[in-house]
């Protein structure tokens, strides 16, 4: 009887581990410009929501001349899945982007809507080390913005 319980426990643990590994997760780096002049870098992490199976996005970006990252709250249009709204933490600006292949195009809009600047982004490759650094940076940015 003990062997059967042990075997069932091992099988259950193995199945749980397989289930956890099957969840969708991807990270992408995009480089491009705002207004054709200001170089920017955008990091986006996509994960499956464990409750709804919908995709969740966490993101940050910076102007390349700045060391400070800005956290982005991302919403995907459910009717047109290639459309995204990315709101800067503290509502200092909004990006409205359309995805086409490995690129995003759209607008950066100031909070008062007086400035509307063109945004062009193209996916860039990352090394494993760069991916780890982006993950650490995003964790730090999220902590700074959301810690009690």
Output the domain CATH number for residue 114. 2.40.128.120
Instruction: Give a yes or no: residue 39 inside a domain.
Output: yes
Token pair listed for 36:
């054709």
Inform me whether the pLDDT recorded for 18 exceeds 60. Answer: no
Q: Is 73 exposed, middle or buried (0-12, 13-18, 19+ CB in 10 A)?
A: middle
Instruction: Give a yes or no: residue 5 inside a domain.
Output: no
Do you know the residue count of the chain?
148
Instruction: Give a yes or no: residue 19 inside a domain.
Output: no
More confident residue, 54 or 10: 54
- Domain total of the chain: 1
Instruction: Give a yes or no: residue 41 inside a domain.
Output: yes
Q: Which domain, by its residues, includes 135?
A: 24-146
Instruction: Give a yes or no: residue 127 inside a domain.
Output: yes
Does pTM surpass 0.95? no
Q: What percent of the chain has pLDDT over 90?
A: 74
Token pair listed for 102:
């490995």
Mean pLDDT of 9-20: 43
Instruction: Give a yes or no: residue 60 inside a domain.
Output: yes
The string of pLDDT tens digits covering residues 47-88 is 998 888 788 999 999 999 999 999 999 999 989 999 999 999
Instruction: Give a yes or no: residue 7 inside a domain.
Output: no
Question: What pLDDT, on the 0 to 100 scale, is given for residue 54?
Answer: 84
Instruction: Give a yes or no: residue 110 inside a domain.
Output: yes
Q: What percent of the chain has pLDDT over 70?
A: 83
Question: What pLDDT, on the 0 to 100 scale, is given for residue 8?
Answer: 41
């Amino acid at each position: 009887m003990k062997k059967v319980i042990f075997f069932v426990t091992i099988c259950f643990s193995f199945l749980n581990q397989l289930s956890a590994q099957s969840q969708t997760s991807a990270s992408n780096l995009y480089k491009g410009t705002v207004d054709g002049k200001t170089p920017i870098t955008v990091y986006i992490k996509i994960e499956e929501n464990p409750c709804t199976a919908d995709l969740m996005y966490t993101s940050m970006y910076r102007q390349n001349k700045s060391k400070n990252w800005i956290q982005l709250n991302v919403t995907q249009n459910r009717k047109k899945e290639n459309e995204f709204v990315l709101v800067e933490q503290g509502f200092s600006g909004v990006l409205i982007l359309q995805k086409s292949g490995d690129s995003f195009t759209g607008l950066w809009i100031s909070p008062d809507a007086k400035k509307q600047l063109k945004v062009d982004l193209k996916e860039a490759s990352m090394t494993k080390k760069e991916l780890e650094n982006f993950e650490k940076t995003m964790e730090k940015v999220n902590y700074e913005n959301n810690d009690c």
